[in-house]
């Protein structure tokens, strides 16, 4: 399994995507069990003044991966410590929330009935996001339909702050980053780290790129920290995080019972926090070749993390695809990558 040729198909695929300008650059970090790991950086991006090479130390704005690498483990850590219960109503922690039948579990599984988004507002506009979220009507009955919602995860970030008496950022450091040694994971990265951060989308005025500040407008209006977006991190740090889900007994994150409970009773492709492949009509970003029970998440900027617990396979795929504009191209590319990985490492064993 250490034969370098096992990685050739993946390597050729990413190099072709960069050459064809499907993506500007990427870092791929793949492991299979405890003994096999491969990582590689590709391509470059513009910081508005010059082209910068992507390296394995490049930090990416991982967008919605924040939901499962920060908000989910923080909420679960607080539950593990008896500070909250997942079946509590949101109103118990945020009295201004108008829907008494919506629970924390609903928010985690995207079954709250909240709409996916707020109306779009440019980064340059000013708006108070939390009051706007609290005003939202439900679009479905709680528990009846899985509708992916940024708004529910934003509320969970607020719940974590209320329960802990600390910011979500402080909770992330305490319960996730510090225990797992994720030193390159943070919100609002310091200016001196700018040279390591992949720029995302071109600015509206054509003067450069969104660089070193969060891409997501709602999170930007929230000061760069939210339950739905805002995390900057590296492929190596995400691999450490994924490994903690495969090896709960290794310590540092959550116990085996809590991790196992996340995947009981999935609904319409949703576990607690994670997207789960369990035979629904449309396969998620890992592709239909991966075994049922595989779980992961994606980020709008071009990022993803997928885990196959049966084979102990981890695939971290970080790219700043929005550098070339907002396009659905990643929806097409991710299943191709994950199918190629699975074919090369599992089916060809």
Residues of the chain with pLDDT > 90: what percent? Answer: 93
Q: Is the dihedral of CA 335, 74, 99, 268 positive or negative?
A: positive
Q: Give CA 306 to chain center in angstroms.
A: 10
Q: Is 68 left (phi over 0), alpha (psi -120 to 50) or beta?
A: alpha
| pLDDT over 50 at 101, yes or no | yes
| pLDDT over 50 at 131, yes or no | yes
Model confidence pLDDT, tens digit, residues 286-321: 999 999 999 999 999 999 999 999 999 999 999 999
Q: Is 107 exposed, middle or buried (0-12, 13-18, 19+ CB in 10 A)?
A: buried
Contact yes or no for 61/232 (Cβ under 8 A): yes
The encoded tokens of residue 61 equal: 């704005």
| pLDDT over 90 at 2, yes or no | no
- pTM for this entry: 0.97
pLDDT at 205: 85
Main-chain phi, psi angles of 275, to 5 degrees: -85, 135
pLDDT at 39: 97
Q: pLDDT band at 95, cuts 50/70/90? A: very high
Number of alpha carbons in the 13 Å side-chain half-sphere of residue 331: 5
The encoded tokens of residue 96 equal: 């201004």
pLDDT at 1: 44
CA angle 256, 259, 264 (to 5 degrees): 120
pLDDT at 348: 65
CA distance 285 to 268: 15
How many domains, the chain? 1
Q: pLDDT band at 23, cuts 50/70/90? A: very high
pLDDT at 252: 87
Here the CATH number for the domain that contains residue 56 is 3.40.710.10
Q: pLDDT band at 97, cuts 50/70/90? A: very high
Model confidence pLDDT, tens digit, residues 134-184: 999 999 999 999 999 999 999 999 999 999 999 999 999 999 999 999 999
Domain range for 331 = 4-347
Number of alpha carbons in the 13 Å side-chain half-sphere of residue 284: 26
Model confidence pLDDT, tens digit, residues 149-163: 999 999 999 999 999
**What is the rounded average pLDDT of the residues 246-271?**
94
pLDDT at 316: 98
**What is the rounded average pLDDT of the residues 5-14?**
93
Main-chain phi, psi angles of 224, to 5 degrees: 95, 0
Find all residues with CB under 8 Å of 71, minimum gap 6, and list them: 153, 156, 157, 160, 168, 227, 228, 273
Q: Is the dihedral of CA 271, 276, 280, 283 positive or negative?
A: positive
Residues of the chain with pLDDT > 70: what percent? Answer: 98
pLDDT at 250: 86
């Amino acid at each position: 399994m250490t034969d370098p040729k096992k990685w050739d198909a993946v390597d050729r695929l990413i190099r072709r995507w960069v050459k064809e300008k499907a993506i500007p650059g990427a870092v791929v970090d793949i492991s299979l069990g405890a003994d096999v790991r491969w990582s590689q950086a590709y391509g470059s991006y513009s910081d508005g003044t010059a082209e910068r090479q992507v390296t394995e130390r490049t930090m990416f704005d991982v967008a919605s991966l924040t939901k499962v690498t920060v908000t989910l483990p923080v909420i679960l850590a607080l539950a593990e410590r008896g500070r909250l219960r997942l079946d509590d109503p949101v109103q118990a922690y945020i009295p201004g929330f108008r829907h008494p039948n919506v629970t924390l579990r609903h928010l985690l599984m995207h079954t709250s009935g909240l709409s996916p988004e707020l109306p779009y507002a440019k980064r340059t506009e000013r708006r108070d996001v939390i009051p706007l979220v609290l005003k939202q009507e439900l679009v479905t009955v709680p528990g009846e339909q899985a509708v992916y919602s940024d708004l529910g995860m934003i509320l969970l970030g607020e719940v974590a702050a209320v329960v802990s008496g600390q910011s979500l950022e402080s909770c992330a450091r305490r319960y996730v980053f510090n225990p797992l040694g994720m030193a390159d994971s943070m919100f609002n990265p310091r200016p001196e780290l700018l040279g390591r951060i992949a720029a995302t989308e071109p600015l509206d005025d054509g003067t450069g790129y969104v660089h070193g500040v969060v891409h997501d407008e709602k999170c930007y209006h929230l000061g760069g920290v939210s339950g739905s977006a805002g995390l900057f991190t590296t492929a190596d740090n995400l691999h450490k995080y994924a490994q903690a889900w495969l090896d709960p007994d290794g310590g540092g994150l959550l116990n085996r019972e809590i991790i196992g409970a996340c995947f009981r009773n999935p609904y319409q492709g949703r576990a607690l926090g994670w997207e789960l492949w369990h035979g629904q009509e449309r396969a998620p970003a890992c592709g239909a070749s991966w075994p049922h029970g595989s779980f992961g998440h994606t980020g709008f900027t071009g990022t993803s993390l997928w885990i196959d617990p049966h084979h102990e396979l981890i695939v971290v795929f970080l790219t700043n695809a929005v550098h070339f504009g907002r396009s659905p191209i990643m929806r097409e590319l991710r299943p191709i990558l994950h199918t190629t990985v699975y074919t090369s490492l599992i089916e060809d064993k």
